[in-house]
Amino acid sequence: MGQNLLTQIVFYFFAVLTVGSAAAVVFSRSLIRSAFALLFTFFGVAALYAFLGADFLAATQMVIYVGGILVLLLFGVMLTHKLYELNRKSETYQLMPAVVVVFGIFGVLVTFIMRTHWHSGGQSPAVPTTAAIGELLMREYILPFEAASILLLIALIGAAMIVRRKSE
Partner 1 sequence: MIGLSHYLVISAALFSLGMMGVLTRKNAVSVLMGVELILNSANINLVAFSRFSAGNLSGQVFAIFIIVVAAAEAAVGLAIVLSMYRIIKTINLDQADTLKG
Residue closer to partner 1, measured from CB, 87 or 160: 160
Residue 141 DSSP class = T
CA neighbor of 38 nearest in space, from 12, 69, 64: 69
Residues 105-144 that bind partner 1 (CB under 8 A): 105-106, 109-110, 113-114, 118, 120-125, 129, 132-133, 136-137, 140-141, 144
Q: List binders of partner 1 among 64-83 (CB under 8 A).
A: 64-65, 68-69, 72-73, 75-77, 79-80
Does 18 interact with partner 1 (rule: CB under 8 A)? yes
Q: Quick check: 22 and 41 in contact, CB under 8 A?
A: yes
Buried b or exposed e, range 77-115, using 16+ CB within 10 angstroms: eeeeeeeeeeeeeeeeeeeeeeeeeeeeeeeeeeeeeee
User: Are the CB atoms for 89 and 28 separated by under 8 Å?
Assistant: no
Q: Quick check: 3 binds partner 1 (CB under 8 A)?
A: no
Query: Which one of 36, 60, 62, 66 is in contact with partner 1 (CB under 8 A)?
Result: 60
In whole angstroms, what separates CA 16 from the centre of its chain? 15
Q: How many residues bind partner 1 (CB under 8 A)?
A: 84
Q: Which 35-54 residues touch partner 1, going by CB under 8 A? A: 35, 38, 41-42, 45, 48-49, 51-54
Helix or strand holding residue 19 (H, E): helix 2-27
Interaction between residue 59 and partner 1 (CB under 8 A): no
Check residue 30 for interaction with partner 1 (CB under 8 A): no
Per CB under 8 A, 90 contacts partner 1: yes
